[in-house]
Amino acid sequence: MATDVVVPTLGESITEATLGQWLKKPGEAVKVDEPIASLETDKVAVEVPSPVAGVIGELVVNEGDTVNVGAVIARIEAGAAAATSATPAVEDRTAVGKAEAAAPAEPASAPVEETGDALTLSPSVRRAVLEYGVDPSKIRGTGKDGRVTKDDVVAAAKSQPKPAATAPAASPAAAAPVASNAGGRNEERVKMTRLRQTVAKRLKEAQNTAAMLTTFNDVDMTAVIEARNKYKDLFEKKHGVRLGFMGFFVKAACMALKDIPSVNASIEGEEIVYRDYVDVSVAVSAPNGLVVPVIRNAETLTVAGIEKTIGDFGKRAKEGKLSMEDMKGGTFTISNGGVFGSLMSTPIINPPQSGVLGLHRIEDRPVVRDGQVVVRPMMYLALSYDHRLIDGREAVTFLVALKNAIEDPTRLLIDL
């Protein structure tokens, strides 16, 4: 008797997804709740678990197909798992027995490839395996239930520098294709993921709908850097999380948004919606690109609470475990391009939000203090905003308030 595998509920207002990759093939045994497919939605990648133990039967849809919530995507032959798991065991023993007489080395490695975790790798890990050219069956996974993560692949690649360096010299035949393609003009066409399609659509809608304008300022990071260096060890010991810069900026932004509520507001039809709470969307890096989970009621959190939330988002983003609820909503966005080396940018607002703060890299620059030219660690700030709702005076006032709080962190304690 076969059991249908259906597309699970993906979140509010999400009715369809794209089948990104099959993690199991027909005839392979699966356990209960073992991932068999990866779905790409408008916001995150979702793994589809097996509802029963058994053997993969028919795959109803192909990779790249669009599927609706509740649709059948595969069938699992229940009750066949025991038989199929026993049969290969006999076959493997027979094969090993025959092969030992001829080539003992090959039978030893074959079972590892047959039973390794490579068959259930997530899409991001599979791409990393291909990129770094490592054998996933020889990697010890540090993820949940011993699954291999992208970081495991990178670490394995770094620990094997010699084979990668000597391979071309040891195999002249392998060097020939590289030389022949050196002057080539190759192209590769890759279908856009559903996430990338949605990002492209929403960003273009933002440009077409909002009257976007960007205002800039710079901030002296001396005080924050000194505070961080002074207390980072005690902070980590007490709270179990590292003290970064985002905690200061989120806290300062919440104070500034309280003073300039229009930056935290949005336009809905012919009405302006003002809020007495701040849900901050923070951009974090994920295997499929940047995602923007939301810190709920950020105005009520301490710097430690903010850092813990961001750290949890970053960890789950790398593991592909962010949920739809994590991404939902948001009243204001902070994007930190500085971690990638960005000096300055004009970020695009995320509708229906009306403002986005762009942070950039910190670099030593000459500035004037008390009539003297001194070197200070400076950062450019950028606030992109919807000019339909936010006036220039309000935008500049917001940035100045945030600048003052960062340059004098004591203001964060006394709410000034």
User: Is-catalytic flag, 239?
Assistant: no
DSSP state of 390: S
Chain center to CA of 123: 13
DSSP letters of 71-106? -EEEEEEET-HHHHHHHHHHHHHHHHHHHHHH-THH
- CA-CA distance, 251 to 248, in Å (whole number)? 5
Q: What are phi and psi of 193, to 5 degrees?
A: -70, 160
Measured CA distances, 207 to 35, 267, 269, 272, 385 (Å): 39, 15, 17, 19, 11
Residue 262, token pair as written in the block: 């229009």
Catalytic residue selected from 4, 33, 391, 408: 391
CB 342 within 8 A of CB 359: no
Q: State the catalytic residue, choosing from 145, 259, 387, 408.
A: 387
Contact 281, 292 (CB under 8 A): yes
Helix (H) or strand (E) holding 196: helix 194-209
DSSP state of 70: T
DSSP state of 358: E
Closest CA to 349 of 197, 201, 213, 198: 213
How far, in Å, CA of 205 to CA of 199, rounded?
10
Query: Could you tell me which residues are beta bridge partners of residue 384?
Result: 214, 356
Residues written for the chain: 416
Checking DSSP bridges between strand 212-220 and strand 355-359, what pairing results, if any?
unpaired
Neighbouring C-beta atoms of residue 415, cutoff 10 Å? 8
Where are the alpha helices (H) located in 49-193, listed in sequence order?
Answer: 81-102, 105-115, 123-132, 150-158, 161-170, 172-180
Concerning whether 360 is annotated as a catalytic residue, the answer is: no
Active-site positions read: 387, 391
